[in-house]
Structure formats: C-alpha cells, structure tokens
Amino acid sequence: MITSIIPESSLIDSPDSPAVLRDQKESNDNAFIFAEQSGVSLTDGLDVDITDPGTYNRNTPPSPETIPNGTIIDSFFLHFDPEGRPNQRVEVSGSVTFDTEILGVIVTDTNLNDSDDLGASNTAYPTGLLDRGSVFGREQLDNITLSENTLEYNIGARQVIDQIRIITAAAPPVNNPPEIISLSVTPDTINENDMLTLTGTFIDSDSDDNHTIFIDWNDPNTSIVDTIQLSGGEREFTATYQYSDDGVAPGNGTEFDDYEIEVRVDDNSGATDTSSIAVRVQNVEPIITKLEAELVFIDDDDGIDNGIDNGDDEGVLITVTGTFTDPGSLDIHTRTAVWSDGVSVDVDEIGLGERTFTISRFLSEDELENNFPEIGDDVFQVGITTTIMDDDNGSAFFEESFEVPEEGEIG
C-alpha cells in the first residue's frame, strides 16, 4: 500500500483502457502512479532490474535479480507521457513510499513487457512498444533512487513515454475480528444443581479462520473455564453447565444468586470479541421424606448396657431416624427438633452430602404417664416436630407421632 506520494496529484486509481497507452494519459506536470495487483503469489521467478538501495542513472549499472517463485507480491505502476510528443525533453520529479519493502524495480522494455501480466485488469499496456522503459532506454538522463520502501525519481521524455513497474512485498492480510452476535441460555433461571445450555453465534468475514471459544461460568465454587475449538466455517457453539449451589458454598443466606457468564471468541490471528449473559440460580428447600421410630424397653438393670443413664427408672428408648432430600450438593444443613411435651433437642449440624439424621430420647414410665396422652391401655402418643434448614435459609418442617407402650420391648 502507498503511504505517501509527492506530488499528491500523481496518485490515481488504476485507469480504464487504454489510459497508459501512448498519447492517452498525458501531463507535463506529473507522472501518474497507481496500484495494479496485490497478494500475487509468483508461479515463476520474476526478473527485475533494480533491487539494491542506491541511485541509478546512465553512469550507474543496474543490479538485476530474479524474485523467486512463491514470493507473494504487490505491483504498482508509474506512467509518464508528456503532452503532444514534444521535441524538447520534459522532466518530472517525485517520490512514492510504501508500507512494505520494495523487492524490485522494473525499468527495461523487456522486463516491462514480460511483467505486464501483473497489470491492472481494466488497463491496457503498451506491451512491445520500443523505449517504454526508463534509465536504460533512449532517455539517458533519468535518475532513480531506491531505499528500503521509497522510490525517488527524476525522469523525462519527449517523443516517447516513460514507465516503471515497482514490486513490493505483499502487505500482510488484514485480519477481521470475530463478532459475537447472539448468546442465549436455556433455561435462564435454574435450580441449584440443575443443568443449563448456553448457545452462541458469531460472525467473522475471514471464512477460513479457526476459532477458540472460552466460557467463564463465574461459578464461585469452581474455577472452570470451558474451551471449545471450532474449525474454519463453524460459527455456532453450545455448552452445558451445572451450578452446584446458588452462591458461595457453604451458603450465603440468599434465595437465589445471579451469575454473569462471560464468553470470549478468539480467531487464529489473535483478534477477539467478548460478550456476557446472565443466569439466575435458585436455592431449593430441603424436603423431609420420612421419620421412623425404633422403640426399645429399658428396665432398671439394662440401661447402662444400652448406653442410657436411666438411673433406676424403667422406660422406653426412642430412636427416631429421618431422611430428607435436597438437590444442593454443596449445602450444609442444620436439624432442630421439639418433642410433643415441649422438650427441645440440641441443634445438630448435618455434614456435607449427608441426608439422614438420628434423634434419641429415653422416656421413663413417669414421663410417659405425666407428659403424653394415653391413647390405649398403657399406650401413649409421643410426637416430634423436626425442622431441616439449609445454609441459604431454605427449610423443611415435618411432624410425626408414634405409639409408645409403657412396658415391653418393641422393635
């Protein structure tokens, strides 16, 4: 690409045919310069007349070389044709600078003719015209100075035209970044430990680019960032995820928490785009599914054998076993209970992942007779109310009553 040109009026779009033929694009003030082809991979070596930096004129020989096949190049053309085929030499000067290295300059008739296939598609060239070139043709007063990416010229003509082809290294292709155009989550509100599906679509005008998708679920209980590789042409992605808890475990006391899922799309040239979408994760209350009681009669002699400090009292050892459910796999639970005579049970924490609990109480015959209703001959109704609370204040409440005989062994 041309980055600067002096004079600025020299730069033109590639002219329509037959503009660079003789007597078509004339000027006594400017040589005209335009871009021809870009990103051309040479299938054969290309002969050029000048490659080394320096000044070239009738006293300085050229440094011809061949640009090897496989080289990817851009070509540019300089055209000077003085008005009306004057008898006196008309000179113009200027310079042109490119954003990449000049690989070679073509100034001789032969090499200009042989390289006209690099010309602009809409322009006719004077292939075969005698003395169309510069420096080494009839006009021996021309001067060309070449540096790494700049060509300076002082050229002239009278009865002929003066033309130069400039070959530069192809500019690196412009990489277009991807652009995320849609993100969706299904469902957008889930219960803790449920799965959601994230779907995304993006565009990238570079059709052959491969892409890497990075998905940060922003789960405070893990550091998972999922990665998806997509080959050229693929522009959609899907991922699933399971939030084990609503919020930071073990519990932050909220009924729900909102997460921002962050998505980044990278192409294989390093360009990137980011976007995000919210999902709500709700706490689920535990559910007590069952309370069962095991009753064992204890006389005044075998209390110690059963681990009960019953003194000399006879009575019943009641062992209540409860089960509950809670999908929150990271939830920790607290159990409280009150017997139907108003006696509270010590609060107990139920460990992570556990879903059962046990409550035991020894009731002497006096306690049964005095504190619980008799519902049959020496049979009493003993009730218990149990509450399970998770670490986000979700709770389950369960009442159960058991028929307890005053004596004898049951269970």
pLDDT tens sequence across 252-267: 888 999 999 999 999 9
At 410, the pLDDT band (50, 70, 90 cuts) reads very low
Please say if the pLDDT value at position 151 is more than 90: yes
DSSP β-bridge partners for residue 75: 167
Instruction: At 103, list the tokens.
Output: 């690989």
At 244, the pLDDT band (50, 70, 90 cuts) reads very high
**pTM value?**
0.65
pLDDT at site 138: 47
3-state SS, the chain, equals CEEEEECHHHECCCCCCCCCCCCCCCCCCCCEEEECCCCEECCCCEEECECCCEEECCCCCCCCEEECCCCEEEEEEEEECCCCCCCCCEEEEEEEEECCCEEEEECCHHHHHHCHHHCCCCCCCCCCCCCCCCCCCCCCCCEEEECCCEEEEEEEECCCCEEEEEEEECCCCCCCCCEEEEEEEECCEEECCCEEEEEEEEECCCCCCCEEEEEECCCCCCCCEEEEEECCCCCEEEEEEECCCCCCCCCCCCCEEEEEEEEEEEECCCCEEEEEEEEEEECCCCEEEEEEEEEEEECCCCCHHHCCCCCCCCEEEEEEEEEEECCCCCCCEEEEEEECCCCEEEEEEECCCCCEEEEEEEEEHHHHHHHCCEEECCEEEEEEEEEEEECCCCEEEEEEEEEEECCCCCC
Please say if the pLDDT value at position 15 is more than 90: no
Please say if the pLDDT value at position 276 is more than 70: yes
pLDDT at site 88: 87
**Which is more confidently placed, 175 or 63?**
175
- How buried is residue 333: exposed, middle or buried, by Cβ count under 10 Å (0-12/13-18/19+)? buried
Please say if the pLDDT value at position 305 is more than 80: no
DSSP β-bridge partners for residue 319: 294, 360
pLDDT at site 9: 83
pLDDT at site 311: 59
- Give me the amino acid identity at 280: R
Q: Where are the domains of the chain?
A: 2-169, 179-282, 287-405
Specify the range with the lowest mean pLDDT, choosing from 248-257, 258-267, 333-342, 368-377.
Answer: 248-257
Give pLDDT tens digits for 164-213: 999 999 988 789 999 999 999 999 999 999 999 999 999 999 988 999 99
The per-residue pLDDT of the chain, averaged, comes to: 90
pLDDT at site 327: 94
pLDDT at site 304: 47
Mean of pLDDT values over 289-297: 93
Please say if the pLDDT value at position 121 is more than 70: yes
**Which is more confidently placed, 251 or 153?**
153
CA distance readout (Å), 240 to 33, 186, 197, 217, 226: 57, 9, 4, 10, 10
pLDDT at site 139: 46
- CATH number assigned to the domain with residue range 179-282, chosen from the 4 options 3.40.640.10, 3.30.530.20, 2.60.40.2550, 1.10.490.130: 2.60.40.2550
- Please state, in angstroms and rounded to a whole number, the distance separating the CA atoms of residues 132 and 22: 9
- Please state which CATH number belongs to domain 287-405: 2.60.40
Contact 135, 56 (CB under 8 A): yes
Nearest to 320 by CA among 286, 352, 351, 288: 288
Please say if the pLDDT value at position 307 is more than 60: no
- Please state, in angstroms and rounded to a whole number, the distance separating the CA atoms of residues 71 and 118: 14
Give pLDDT tens digits for 64-118: 899 999 999 999 999 999 998 888 889 999 999 999 999 999 999 999 999 999 9
Contact 404, 379 (CB under 8 A): yes
Please say if the pLDDT value at position 42 is more than 50: yes
**Cβ contacts of residue 322 below 8 Å, gap of 6+?**
288, 290, 291, 292, 335, 356, 357, 358, 359, 386, 388, 398
- Please state, in angstroms and rounded to a whole number, the distance separating the CA atoms of residues 338 and 64: 103
Give pLDDT tens digits for 230-243: 998 899 999 999 99
